[in-house]
Amino acid sequence: MLLRSVDIRQFRNIAQAHLDCSSQLTLVVGKNAQGKTNALDAIHIALQGKSFRNSPELEWFSFVDPDVIAITASLDNGQGRLSSIEHRVMANPHKRIHRGPKIPVVVFSPQDLALSKGSPSDRRRFLDQTISLMNARYDRALKQFQHAVLQRNRALKEPRLSHIVDSFNPALVSYGTYVWQTRQEFVLTLLSQANVSYRRISNGESLGGHLQYGGCQSPIASEAEYLTVLEQRRTDERLRMMTLVGPHRDDLALDIGGRSVSLYASQGQHRLVSLSLKLATFHLLQEEFGEPPVILLDDVLSELDSDRRGELLRMISQKDQQTIVTDTEARNYEYLSPMIYHVDNGSFTKWGQDHA
Amino acid sequence: MLYPTPIQDLVNELAKLPGVGPKTAQRLAFFLLNMPKGEAELLSSAIVAARNRIRYCSVCFNFTDQDPCAICRHPSRDAKIIMVVEQPKDVVAMEKTREFKGRYHVLHGAISPMEGIGPEDLKVKELLGRIERESPVEIVLATSSNLEGEATALYLGRLLKPMGLTVTRIARGLPMGGDLDYTDEVTLSKALEGRQEI
C-alpha cells in the first residue's frame, strides 16, 4: 500500500496543505515551530485515525478557523488501484468521521525515550497501541477491561456501594486474563526481536525483559488464578479504595545484560533501548502485514550519533520502504533523492521538482 | 437569527429530546408549524395524555395506564416465574418473541457505580417484597449482557439464591447467524461455558 498524497485543512497551524508523497522518501524541512510535526501528525491521523502525540482531538483545531478539520489521503494499492481515506472532525457539535482502511505505520520520535525512561503507563500505552494495530479484538477487550476497572474503583471508593464491588469481578477477570495472555505473547516476540536490534546497534550487549504482571508476584495463567490473587488483596483493596490486581498496573520490565534498565541505564542506553523497541515493532508489523509499514521520522536523527543514524538510514533506504521525515535541514538525506517540502509558518512549498 | 418567542420556546423544548440537536429541533419546529392545526393538537394532547395517564404498575413497575398492568392482571400468565429486566422496552422486546408466559419485574436501570447507581436506586427492594408475597419458583435474570447488566445479574443471583428458589440467567454467547471466527474471545469462551447437550 502506497501513500500518494495527503491534503490537510485547518489542522493546528496548517490552514491548507497538499503534500505529494514519494514512494520512498519524503522530507519536510523547516525551522523549529513551523509545523513539521503537525504535518507528520496529520498523516498519522489519516493512516490510523488518531494522533501519535496522543493529543486530544480538541487540541487539533486550527488556531485561526477552529471549525472543521479535514485530512484526506490518497492511496495506491501498488498496482495502480486508487482509494482514499478521509478523516474529519467537527467542532460544533463535536463529531468525528473516519472513512477508509487503517494503514500500519511506525513513528520514531524524540518522545520514544519514554519507552525506556518513562513510567510504566508509557510502556503500557506502547504495548496496547502496537497490539491493537495487529489485533482489533484486543482493543475491544482492553476497553471493556478498563471500563470494569473504572466501575469497580468507583464502587470501592463509595462506602454505600462497597457491597457491589465483587459483582464486577467476573468481567474484570475474564477481560483482564485475555489482555494479559495477549500482552504476554506479544512481549515475548517483541523482546526477542528487540534483542536482535539491540545487539546490532549497541556493542553486542543483550537486551532482556519480561511483562511484570500488575499486582502479582508471578505471571497469571488463568481466570481462576487471577480471582485467587484478587481475593488475597481484598482487604488491601478496600483500604486503598482501588483495584490493585490487573493489567492496568502492568509494566514492561527491561534489563541490559541482567541489570535493570530503569535503575541502571545511562542516557545513551535509554536511547538505544527505545530505538530497539521501535525497530522491533517495525519488523513485527512488516511480518504481520507482509509489507513494510509506513515510517514517520520526527526529528530523530539529530539525537543519534552517526552509527545509529546509519542504522535508521539503512532501513528507510530499502526498496519499497515509504518514509516521511521531518528535519531542520536536508543534508543527511540528499543521497536518497527525496521529495522535499519546505515549511514556513504552516505553509508548504515543494522544492526541487526534478527530485520527484 | 432570533425567532418570535413561541417558536424559540418550541425549539428549546424539542432540543431537550435525546438525539435532537439545535438544527433538528429547528426543522421539527417548522414542520409542526406547517402541519394542519388539528394534527399538531393531536400530538400535543397525546403527549399530555401519556404523561398524565401512564404510571408504574404497582406490581412489576412496567409503564401502564391501568394498575396493575395488563400482563400482571392476565389470568393465563404464570405467576410462578418472574423475569427481571432493566427497562420497560426490554419487556416489549421479550413479548415480541411470544415465548415467555411468566410475568416481569422492571428494575429501571442497572448497577453502575460511575453513575452512582447502586441496588438501592433500582426496584430491588420491591422485587424482594414481591418474592415474599407471591413465592414464585423461578426468577429469570434477563438484564443486558454488558458490564453493568452482568454485574446486576450477579448481584441479584447472590441475593436471591439463599431464598430457596431457582435463579436462572438467559444464555450469552453466539448471536444466531453469527460467524465463529468473527466472535471475540471473551464471548466465545462464554459460549463454550454455556454449551448444551443436543
Say which CATH number the domain at A70 has: 3.40.50.300
Burial level of A289, CB count in 10 A (0-12/13-18/19+)?
A: middle
Q: Which residue intervals of chain B bear CATH 1.10.8.420?
A: 5-53
Q: How confident is the model at residue B141 (pLDDT cuts 50, 70, 90)?
A: very high
Q: Which domain holds residue A144?
A: 113-264
pLDDT for residue B174 is more than 60:
yes
CB contact (8 A) between residue A167 and residue B147: no
Q: Do the beta carbons of residue B168 and residue B140 sit within 8 Å?
A: yes
Of the residues B120, B148, B186, B189, the best mutation for testing chain A's interface (the one with the most A CB atoms within 10 Å of its CB) is B186
Q: What is the CATH number of domain B5-53?
A: 1.10.8.420
Q: Do the beta carbons of residue A13 and residue A38 sit within 8 Å?
A: yes
Tell me what ipTM this predicted complex has: 0.79
Q: Has residue A274 been placed in a domain? A: no
- Residues from chain A contacting residue B158 (CB–CB below 8 Å): 167
Of the residues A142, A164, A227, the best mutation for testing chain B's interface (the one with the most B CB atoms within 10 Å of its CB) is A164
Residues of chain A with pLDDT under 70: 352-356
How many folded domains does chain A comprise? 2
CA distance A85 to chain B (A): 24
Q: Give residue for cell 446486576.
A: B152
- Residues from chain B contacting residue A152 (CB–CB below 8 Å): 113
- Residues from chain A contacting residue B147 (CB–CB below 8 Å): 144, 147-148, 151, 168, 171
Between B96 and A55, where is the model more confident?
B96
The domain that holds A213 is classified in CATH as: 1.20.1050.90
Residues A156 and A224 in one domain: yes
Residues A223 and A149 in one domain: yes
Q: Do the beta carbons of residue A180 and residue A143 sit within 8 Å?
A: no
pLDDT at A356: 42
Last residue of some domain: A221, A249, A264? A264
Burial level of A28, CB count in 10 A (0-12/13-18/19+)?
A: buried
CA distance A307 to chain B (A): 44
Between A306 and B105, where is the model more confident?
B105
Q: Has residue A284 been placed in a domain? A: no
Residues A307 and A228 in one domain: no
Residues A119 and A260 in one domain: yes
Between A353 and B10, where is the model more confident?
B10
Q: How confident is the model at residue B54 (pLDDT cuts 50, 70, 90)?
A: very high
Lowest mean pLDDT among B6-10, B19-23, B110-114, B137-141: B19-23
pLDDT for residue B1 is more than 70:
no
Interface of B with A (CB under 8 A): 21, 111-114, 116, 118-120, 147-148, 150-152, 154-155, 158, 184-186, 189-190
Q: Has residue A282 been placed in a domain? A: no
Task: Give the whole-angstrom CA distance, residue A280 versus residue A277.
Answer: 5
User: Which conformational region is residue A337 in: left (phi greater than 0), alpha (psi within -120 to 50 degrees), or beta?
Assistant: left
Closest residue on chain A to B20 (Cα): A93
Q: Has residue A289 been placed in a domain? A: no
Q: How confident is the model at residue B31 (pLDDT cuts 50, 70, 90)?
A: very high
Give the DSSP letter string of A242-294.
Answer: S--SSGGG-EEEEEETTEEHHHH--HHHHHHHHHHHHHHHHHHHHHHHSSPPE
Neighbours of B34 (CB within 10 A): 8
pLDDT at A355: 45
CA distance A145 to chain B (A): 9
Please write the tens of the pLDDT for every residue from A13-55: 898 999 999 999 999 999 888 999 999 999 999 999 889 888 8
Q: Has residue A290 been placed in a domain? A: no
Residues A166 and A301 in one domain: no
CB contact (8 A) between residue A167 and residue B111: yes
Q: Do the beta carbons of residue B122 and residue B108 sit within 8 Å?
A: yes
Residues A17 and A95 in one domain: yes
CA distance B48 to chain A (A): 31
Between B78 and A79, where is the model more confident?
B78
CA distance B53 to chain A (A): 35
Assigned fold of B75-172+185-191:
Dna Topoisomerase Vi A Subunit; Chain: A, domain 2 (3.40.1360)
Measured CA to CA in angstroms, residue A109 lies from A44, A112, A302, B191 at distances of 13, 6, 11, 43
Interface of A with B (CB under 8 A): 93, 137, 140-141, 144, 147-148, 150-152, 154-155, 158, 160-161, 164, 166-168, 170-171, 174-175, 178
Nearest one of A152, A158, A153, A185 to A170, comparing CA atoms: A152
Q: Has residue A283 been placed in a domain? A: no
pLDDT at B187: 82
CA distance A148 to chain B (A): 7
CA dihedral angle for residue A277, residue A278, residue A282, residue A288, rounded to 10 degrees: 50
Last residue of some domain: A264, A282, A315? A264
Nearest one of B100, B99, B117 to B109, comparing CA atoms: B117
CB contact (8 A) between residue B147 and residue A147: yes
Last residue of some domain: A264, A281, A309? A264
Give kind and range of the element (H or E) at residue B59.
none
Residues A139 and A98 in one domain: no
- Residues from chain A contacting residue B21 (CB–CB below 8 Å): 93
Q: Has residue A269 been placed in a domain? A: no
CB contact (8 A) between residue B152 and residue A167: yes
Read off φ and ψ for residue A223, nearest 5 degrees.
-60, -40
Q: Has residue A273 been placed in a domain? A: no
pLDDT at B192: 87
